C-alpha cells in the first residue's frame, strides 16, 4: 500500500514526533471516520511508499534519512496572508524548506501545490499572477511539477464566507490564469497541471495529470495499484492510497480547508492527541474492533 500522510490533516506540521514513533514501533492505528469503533491497523512492513502532504515540511526534514521507504512530498504553497492562513509559517521559511527537501528526496519526488485558488477584492487575478511567477522564480531548479486547483465550496468555505469574500471566476479569469501560469512555469523549467478539476486549462498549456500517477507509483515500488475514488465522485485516475490522518485536527486553521469544519473540535482533538498513542487522536477503546489492513 501507499500511505497518505495526510489529506485529512497536516501530520508533518503538527504531529511529526507521533508519526516517527509509529514508524519506529512498526505500526499505526487509524480510526474509521465513518464508523468510530472500526480501527485499521497498518504495519509499515506492508507499506511500499509514503506520500507526505503538508504546508510545513520543516519538522520532518531531520528525520527523512531514517525512513527506509520511497518518499514523495506534496508541499502546498499559496500566497495568502494571516487572514486566510493564520498559523502557516512565513512563506520564505517554506521556500527554504522546499529547497532542502528537493535535495533530500529528489526533484522528481517533490510537487508543489498552488492550491486552492480563489479570487477576492484582496486576492485578485493580478495578485495571483504575480505571486505564481515569483514562486516559480524562487523555486527554479528545485521543483519541476506544480499542481493547481480551484476552490470548492465545502462547509468550512461557506462558514468563512465573509472572511474569504470570494468573487466568482469568469471564463476570462480562467483564461488569464491558464496563459499566465503556463508561461511562468515554462520560463522556469516547470510544468503546471490540474487533477480532476472541471476547468483543467489544457487549452492554455496545462497538463491534465494526477496527484500521484500509476507510472510514478510503479517506478518507485515496481507494483501496480487500484485507482483512487475521488471525494467529488467518480475516478480521478490517481493511485489509491491509505490516509492515516483524522479530520478536524489541523491547527493551521486555513479558512478554505475541506478537512477542518469545526474549529472547536480541532482544539478539542488537539488536546486529545498523545504522541505515545497508537492513533493520531485519542487512544484505543475496549469496544474497538481492530483489523489489519494490507492494501
Share above pLDDT 70 across residues of the chain, in percent, rounded to a whole number: 98
| pLDDT exceeds cutoff 70 at 160 | yes
Tell me the per-residue pLDDT of 185-224, one tens digit each, with 9 for 90 and over.
Answer: 999 999 999 988 889 999 999 998 888 999 999 999 999 9
Task: From residue 62, give the alpha-carbon distance in Å to each of 68, 129, 235, 289.
Answer: 14, 34, 36, 35
pTM of the model: 0.95
- Secondary structure class of 21 (helix, strand, coil): helix
> 194: Cβ–Cβ under 8 A, 6 or more apart, which residues?
147, 148, 149, 200, 201, 206, 207, 208, 209
Instruction: Determine the pLDDT at residue 234.
Output: 46
Query: What pLDDT is stored for residue 31 in this prediction?
Result: 95
Pick 235 or 105 by higher pLDDT. Answer: 105
Q: Quote the pLDDT of residue 195.
A: 87
Kindly report the average pLDDT of the chain as a whole number: 95
The DSSP annotation for 73-120 comes to EEEE-----TTT-TTPPPHHHHHHHHHHHHHHH-GGGEEEEEEEE-B-
As a whole number of angstroms, the distance between CA 8 and CA 32 comes to: 12
CA 67 to chain CA centroid, nearest Å: 19
Phi and psi for 138 in degrees, rounded to 5? -70, -30
Among 216, 199, 186, 203, which residue's Cα sits nearest to residue 111? 216
For the stretch 67-117, pLDDT in tens is 999 999 999 999 999 999 999 999 999 999 999 999 999 999 999 999 999
At 230, the pLDDT band (50, 70, 90 cuts) reads low
Angle separating helix axes 125-138 and 171-187, nearest 10 degrees: 20
* Calpha distance 256→12 (Å, rounded): 19
Interior CA angle at 20 toward 18 and 23, to 5°? 115
* Cell, residue 69: 521507504
In this prediction, residue 231 has a pLDDT band, given cuts at 50, 70 and 90, of low
Amino acid at each position: 500500500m501507499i500511505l497518505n500522510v495526510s489529506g485529512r490533516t497536516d501530520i508533518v506540521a503538527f504531529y511529526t514526533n507521533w508519526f516517527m514513533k509509529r514508524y519506529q514501533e512498526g505500526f499505526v492505528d487509524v480510526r474509521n471516520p465513518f464508523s468510530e469503533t472500526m480501527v485499521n491497523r497498518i504495519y509499515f512492513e506492508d507499506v511500499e511508499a509514503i506520500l507526505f502532504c503538508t504546508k510545513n515540511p520543516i519538522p520532518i526534514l531531520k528525520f527523512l534519512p531514517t525512513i527506509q521507504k520511497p518518499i514523495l512530498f506534496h508541499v502546498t504553497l499559496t500566497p495568502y496572508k494571516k487572514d486566510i492562513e493564520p498559523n502557516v509559517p512565513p512563506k520564505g521559511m517554506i521556500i527554504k524548506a522546499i529547497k532542502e527537501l528537493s535535495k533530500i528526496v529528489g526533484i522528481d519526488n517533490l510537487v508543489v501545490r498552488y492550491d486552492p485558488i480563489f479570487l477576492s477584492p484582496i486576492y485578485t487575478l493580478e495578485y495571483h499572477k504575480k505571486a505564481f511567477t515569483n514562486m516559480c522564480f524562487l523555486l527554479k531548479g528545485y521543483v519541476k511539477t506544480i499542481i493547481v486547483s480551484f476552490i470548492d465550496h465545502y462547509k468550512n468555505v461557506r462558514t468563512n464566507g465573509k472572511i474569504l469574500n470570494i468573487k466568482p471566476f469568469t471564463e476570462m479569469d480562467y483564461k488569464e490564469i491558464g496563459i499566465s501560469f503556463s508561461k511562468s512555469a515554462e520560463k522556469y523549467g516547470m510544468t503546471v497541471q490540474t487533477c480532476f478539476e472541471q476547468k483543467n486549462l489544457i487549452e492554455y498549456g496545462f497538463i491534465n495529470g494526477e496527484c500521484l500517477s500509476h507510472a510514478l507509483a510503479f517506478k518507485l515500488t515496481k507494483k501496480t495499484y487500484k485507482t483512487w475514488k475521488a471525494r467529488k465522485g467518480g475516478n480521478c485516475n490517481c493511485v489509491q492510497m491509505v490516509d492515516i490522518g483524522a479530520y478536524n485536527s489541523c491547527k493551521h486553521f486555513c479558512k478554505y480547508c475541506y478537512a477542518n469544519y469545526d474549529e472547536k473540535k480541532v482544539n478539542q482533538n488537539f488536546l486529545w492527541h498523545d504522541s505515545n498513542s497508537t492513533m493520531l487522536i485519542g487512544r484505543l477503546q475496549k469496544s474497538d474492533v481492530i483489523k489489519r489492513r494490507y492494501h
